[in-house]
Amino acid sequence: MNITVNEETLQVPSDLETIEDFRTHFNLVEKKAMIEHNKVALRPDEYTQTALAEGDQIVVVRFVGGG
């Protein structure tokens, strides 16, 4: 399955069914990462209910230093 992650097209295993699976695959579970799925920012309680599909656009961000 091909998805776009931070504007880069990546091939991921087709058994990644939800955003929660995506987080596990990319070792994001322990990190304070925020995720946007097809331009919609997801709350943590939405990770397990949001299905991942071919062509999805994912943005993964985190907090960094800033003024």
Question: Contact positions toward other proteins, by CB under 8 A?
Answer: 5-6, 26, 28, 31-36, 39, 41-44, 59-67
**How near is the Cβ of 2 to other proteins at its closest, in Å?**
15
5 or 17: CB nearest other proteins: 5
C-alpha–C-alpha distance, residues 22 and 28, integer Å: 8
54 or 62: CB nearest other proteins: 62
- Which residues have C-beta within 8 Å of that of residue 3, sequence separation ≥ 6? 9, 10, 12, 22, 52, 54, 55, 56, 57, 58
C-alpha–C-alpha distance, residues 57 and 36, integer Å: 8
12 or 17: CB nearest other proteins: 12
**How near is the Cβ of 9 to other proteins at its closest, in Å?**
13
